[in-house]
Chain A
Amino acid sequence: MSYKVTEEGNISTVHLDGEIDMDVTEKAKEIIMPLIEAKKEVHLNLKEVQYMDSSGISVLIESHQKATELGTKVILKEISKSVLKVIMMAKLEQILNLD
C-alpha cells in the first residue's frame, strides 16, 4: 500500500493505493487517525485500492467512529468496484459516508 495526503483548508484527502489487508492496517491507521484527531474532515480516496479485506473494513469503521466522536467526518471518495463490493457485503453502505 502506498499513499499521498493533500490538504485544502480543513479537508485532508488521503489517496490510498494498492491492497489493504491485515499487514498494512496499522500503517493505514497511523496515516488517518492523526488527521481525525486534528479534527480535519478526512476524505479517503479509494480509487486505486484494488483489494480490501475485513481488516481494511475495520479501519474504515474505526475511522468513521472516531471522527463522529470528535465531531468531524470521514468521507469515502471514488470507491473502487472491488472495495464497494466488500463494503456492501459488510452492509455498511448506509453507515459509512460514501460519496
Chain B
Amino acid sequence: MNVAIKSITEQRDFVVSSSSLKQVRSFSREVFEKVNIDQDLKDELVLAIAEAAQNIVKHAYQGEDTEDKMEIKISLEKGHLEIGFFDKGRPVEEKNVRHRKIDDIKPGGLGTFFIQQIMDAVVFKEGEKPWINHLVLTKNLNS
C-alpha cells in the first residue's frame, strides 16, 4: 500500500471522560485524512483508537469523574504507524487485560478484541512521569 505522507506526528490531550470519545474520533479522522490509505482501514484505526481511549475511561479510571487528561499521540514514519496513549489512572497490568472468549456471547469485553484484531501489536509500558500508563499500538501500513 502506498502511504503518501511519509512522516507525521500529532498529539492531543482529552479529558478522561466518555464525553471525550467523539473528540478522540474527530482528532483521529483528521490525522488519517492526511494519509493515503483506504477508507475501511481509516475507519478500523479510528475504532481501535476510540476503543483504547474508552478502556482508559472504563478501566484506568473505572468511570470516575476526573479532570485528568489523557494524551494520544499518532506517529507515522515510513508506513509504520505508532499510536501512544498516556494516562494517570490506576496502573494497568498487562496480564489483567484480556478480551472475553469470542464465542462466549455476552455484553462487554469486545473493545480489547477489536484493538487486537485491527493492530499488529499492543504493548503496555510503565508511563514516564507524570504518566502512569503508556499503551502503544502499532501497525505496518505498508503491508
B107 touches A61 (CB 8 A): yes
**How distant is B57 from chain A, measured CB to nearest CB, in Å?**
7
With A21-B50, A86-B47, A90-B102 known as contacts, the answer to whether A58 contacts B21 (CB < 8 A) is: no
Interface hits, A21-51 → B, CB 8 Å: 21-23, 51
Separation of A75 and B43 alpha carbons in the complex (Å)? 25
Interface residues on A, range: 20 to 34
A62 touches B22 (CB 8 A): no
Which of B74-82, B85-93, B110-118, B129-137 is the contact stretch?
Answer: B110-118
**A10 within 8 Å of B by Cβ?**
no
The count of A-to-B residue pairs whose CB atoms sit within 8 angstroms is 62
The residue on B at minimum CB distance from A25 is: B18
Interface residues on B, range: 20 to 34
**How distant is B64 from chain A, measured CB to nearest CB, in Å?**
14
Separation of A81 and B40 alpha carbons in the complex (Å)? 10
List residues of chain A with CB under 8 Å of any chain B CB.
19, 21-23, 51, 53-55, 57-59, 61-62, 65, 82, 85-86, 89-92, 95
List residues of chain B with CB under 8 Å of any chain A CB.
18-19, 21-22, 25, 40, 43, 47, 50-51, 54, 57-58, 102-103, 105-108, 110-111, 113-114, 117
- Using A19-B25, A22-B54, A61-B105 as known contacts, list a sample of 16 further A-B pairs with CB atoms less than 8 Å apart, ordered by residue number in A: A22-B18, A22-B57, A23-B22, A51-B47, A53-B21, A53-B47, A53-B50, A53-B51, A53-B54, A54-B108, A65-B105, A65-B106, A65-B107, A90-B113, A90-B114, A91-B103
